[in-house]
A = this chain, B = another copy of it.
Amino acid sequence: MQSIDFPFDKFNFNSDSILEGLPESDLILLNKNRVTHQYKKGEILFREGSYPTGIYYIKKGKVKKYKTDKDGREQIFYVCRKGELFGYHALISDEKYSDTTATLEESTITFISKDDFLKAIQLSPILSNRLLKCMSHEFGVLVNGLAVFAQRTVRERLALSLILLRDKYKKENQDKKPVELDLSRDDLAKFVGTARETLVRLLHDFKEDGLIEINGRKIILKKPLELSKIANLY
């Protein structure tokens, strides 16, 4: 298997770092009223334009964050995996959600109420500093994403997307097994930012060139290094 040296941090939020190893006292505050809930695939956690009531933590599963335009076209701009926190921006800025978030697969998600979270921020400089650091990092990630959409071709974006998603679909303790991307062509197209038809054709080109393997809906990267060259970022 090709190993690959890729700057994932330029494209990944780092929200795991917010709660990880937080002092017990802070965790107690946050966990006071937390509720954990099981979601089926495709369930919406919050919608763009609605008001936040709390934040979410993924114990198991994955969610997609996306925008829907006037004509109903969906653009996925981020996929959160296990361990990530989401939904805190709108809450902190006291605004409506700027995106919609839905599960990509069956997921277990913990909800922390608005009051608990805001109180914890006020009382814990550690938490507040971590949020500052995390959101500063996110700024760069989104700017990089924006540049990709503005400057790269669909083919380049697909190559990049496959690399980024492989990282998301990596399972722990399964370093031996190849990573299988398990999402619909539709969702992949919405992540890449293209039409499903175009996506399908490009996938077959990549397969022809031996860069990927396709098993039904599942995609396995055979030559991530070549793909990163096609992404043409650096």
Residues of A within 8 A of B (CB): 10, 67, 69-70, 73, 75, 77, 88-95, 98-99, 121, 125, 128-129, 131-140, 142-147, 149-152, 193, 232-234
Contact = CB atoms under 8 A, between A and B. Distances in A.
Contact of A95 (B67, B140, B145): B140
> How many protomers of this protein does the assembly include?
2
Given A67-B146, A75-B150, 12 more contacts: A69-B151, A70-B234, A75-B146, A75-B147, A89-B140, A91-B136, A93-B134, A93-B139, A99-B140, A135-B135, A142-B146, A151-B193
Contacts of A129: 128
Contacts of A138: 135, 139
Contact of A77 (B67, B90, B121, B143): B143
Among A121, A125, A140, A150, find the residue whose CB has the most chain B CB atoms closer than 10 A: A150
A222 to B, nearest CB: 25
A77 B144 CA distance: 10
A146 B146 contact: yes
